[in-house]
Chains A and B, each alone.
Chain A
Amino acid sequence: MNELYLILYGYIPYAVVIIFLVGIIYRMATWVSAKGLVGLYNANVCLYRDGWGSTTIEVLKRIFIFYTLPGRDKDQSLFIGSFLFHWGIWIALIGHLGIIIPGTYLEEWFGLTPSLHHVIALYVGGTAGTVALLGLLILTIRRITGRTVTVKVMNEYRVYIPLRMFSFLDDYFALAILLAIMIFGLYQTLGITPYNPAYVDVISKWMWSLVTLHPNVEPIMSYPILQVHALLAMIFIAYFPWSKMMHPFSFLFMPTIARPAIKVRVPKVR
Chain B
Amino acid sequence: MAYDKVFKERPFKWGDASNFMHYMADEKLISRLHEAIKFKQTAITDEEKIEYFRKRLLEEYNNNKNVRMAVEVCVHCGQCMNACPTYITTGDPYNSPVGRAELIRAIIKADKVSGKLFGKAVGAVKKIDMNYIKKVYTYYWLCLICRRCGYACPFGVEQTDVTRVVRAILYEIGMASRFTALTVDAHWKSGNNMNLTPGAVKSIIDFVVKEIKQEKGVELKVKIDEPAYALLLPSSADYFMNMETLKGYLLFLYAAGIDYTLSTKAAEVANFGLFLHPKHLQGLAEKYVNVARELGVKLVIAGECGHAWRAHKNYTLPRLKEYGIELVHIHHLVAQAIREGKIKLNPEANGDIVYMYQDPCQYARGGDLTEEPRFILSHVVKKWVDPDHNRSWTWCCGGQGGNLTDEVVPLVTQYSRLWYEEALKKNAQWIVRPCSICKAQLSHVVPYLNKMYGKEIKYSGLMDLVYRALVV
Interchain CB contact under 8 A, A270 and B154: no
Q: A1: CB under 8 A from chain B?
A: no
Q: How far, in Å, is A263 (CB) from chain B's closest CB? A: 8
Q: Which of A18-26, A39-47, A193-201, A227-235 contacts B (4 or more CB under 8 A)?
A: A39-47
| Bound form: Cα–Cα A36–B328 in Å | 25
Q: Tell me which residues across on chain A come within 8 A of B318, comparing CB atoms.
A: 41, 262
Q: Tell me which residues across on chain B come within 8 A of A219, comparing CB atoms.
A: none
Q: B157: CB under 8 A from chain A?
A: yes
- In the complex, per-residue mask of B155-181: 1 if CB is within 8 Å of any chain A CB, else 0: 111100100110010000000000000
- State which residues 291-329 of B face A: CB under 8 Å: 298-299, 311, 313-315, 317-318, 326-329
Secondary structure class of chain B's binding surface, majority of residues: helix
Given contacts A254-B69, A261-B366, is CB(A269)–CB(B336) below 8 Å?
yes
Interchain CB contact under 8 A, A265 and B364: no
Which range contains the number of B residues in contact with the other chain? 35 or more
Q: How far, in Å, is A124 (CB) from chain B's closest CB? A: 26
List 5 A-B pairs, Cβ < 8 Å.
A34-B68, A39-B164, A43-B158, A62-B154, A153-B388
Question: When A and B form their complex, which 3 residue pairs have the shortest distance between CB atoms, in order from nearest?
Answer: A39-B278, A257-B156, A154-B421
Interchain CB contact under 8 A, A262 and B317: yes
Interchain CB contact under 8 A, A45 and B388: no
Q: Per a CB cutoff under 8 Å, which of A166, A244, A250, A251 touches B98?
A: A166
Q: Per a CB cutoff under 8 Å, which of A34, A40, A258 touches B314?
A: A40
Q: A256: CB under 8 A from chain B?
A: yes
Interchain CB contact under 8 A, B368 and A48: yes
Q: Per a CB cutoff under 8 Å, which of B65, B81, B87 touches A36?
A: B65
Interchain CB contact under 8 A, B75 and A71: no
| Bound form: Cα–Cα A161–B393 in Å | 19
Secondary structure class of chain A's binding surface, majority of residues: loop
Chain A residue with Cβ nearest B106: A168
Q: Tell me which residues across on chain A come within 8 A of B72, comparing CB atoms.
A: 27, 31, 244, 246, 250
Q: Tell me which residues across on chain B come within 8 A of A246, comparing CB atoms.
A: 72-73
- In the complex, per-residue mask of A127-171: 1 if CB is within 8 Å of any chain B CB, else 0: 000000000000000010001010111110101111101111111
Q: Which of A72-80, A92-100, A107-115, A179-187 contacts B (4 or more CB under 8 A)?
A: A72-80
- State which residues 218-270 of A face B: CB under 8 Å: 244, 246-247, 250-251, 253-258, 261-262, 264-267, 269-270
Q: Which of B152, B230, B274 has the most CB of A within 10 A?
A: B152
Interchain CB contact under 8 A, B164 and A269: no
Q: Tell me which residues across on chain A come within 8 A of B311, comparing CB atoms.
A: 40
Q: A38: CB under 8 A from chain B?
A: yes
Given contacts A151-B82, A159-B87, A170-B122, is CB(A38)–CB(B368) below 8 Å?
no
Interchain CB contact under 8 A, B122 and A247: no
Inter-chain contact total with CB atoms closer than 8 Å? 234
- In the complex, per-residue mask of B380-418: 1 if CB is within 8 Å of any chain A CB, else 0: 000000001101110000000000000000000000011
Interface residues in chain B, defined as those with a beta carbon under 8 Å from any beta carbon in chain A: 60, 62-69, 72-79, 81-83, 87-89, 91, 93, 98-99, 102, 114, 118, 121-123, 147, 150-158, 161, 164-165, 168, 229-230, 256-259, 273-274, 277-279, 281-282, 298-299, 311, 313-315, 317-318, 326-329, 332-333, 336, 364-366, 368, 370-371, 388-389, 391-393, 417-418, 421-422, 424-425
Given contacts A39-B279, A147-B78, A269-B230, is CB(A47)–CB(B392) below 8 Å?
yes
Q: A106: CB under 8 A from chain B?
A: no
Chain A contributes a number of interface residues (CB within 8 A of B) equal to 69
Interchain CB contact under 8 A, A166 and B102: yes
Given contacts A39-B281, A66-B154, A255-B65, is CB(A261)–CB(B368) below 8 Å?
yes
Chain A residue with Cβ nearest B279: A39
Q: Tell me which residues across on chain B come within 8 A of A270, comparing CB atoms.
A: 229, 257-259
Interchain CB contact under 8 A, A46 and B392: yes
Interchain CB contact under 8 A, B314 and A71: no
Chain A residue with Cβ nearest B285: A39
Q: Per a CB cutoff under 8 Å, which of B67, B76, B315, B328 touches A163?
A: B76
Q: Tell me which residues across on chain B come within 8 A of A152, comparing CB atoms.
A: 388
Q: A212: CB under 8 A from chain B?
A: no
| Bound form: Cα–Cα A160–B368 in Å | 32
Q: Tell me which residues across on chain A come within 8 A of B83, comparing CB atoms.
A: 71-73
Given contacts A38-B161, A264-B332, A266-B328, is CB(A161)–CB(B66) below 8 Å?
no
| Bound form: Cα–Cα A149–B80 in Å | 12
Interchain CB contact under 8 A, A153 and B161: no
Q: A2: CB under 8 A from chain B?
A: no
Interchain CB contact under 8 A, A69 and B368: no
Q: Tell me which residues across on chain A come within 8 A of B78, comparing CB atoms.
A: 78, 147, 161-163, 166
Chain A residue with Cβ nearest B118: A169
Q: Tell me which residues across on chain B come within 8 A of A267, comparing CB atoms.
A: 298-299, 326, 328
Interchain CB contact under 8 A, A266 and B81: no
| Bound form: Cα–Cα A267–B168 in Å | 36
Interchain CB contact under 8 A, B82 and A266: no
Interchain CB contact under 8 A, B425 and A154: yes
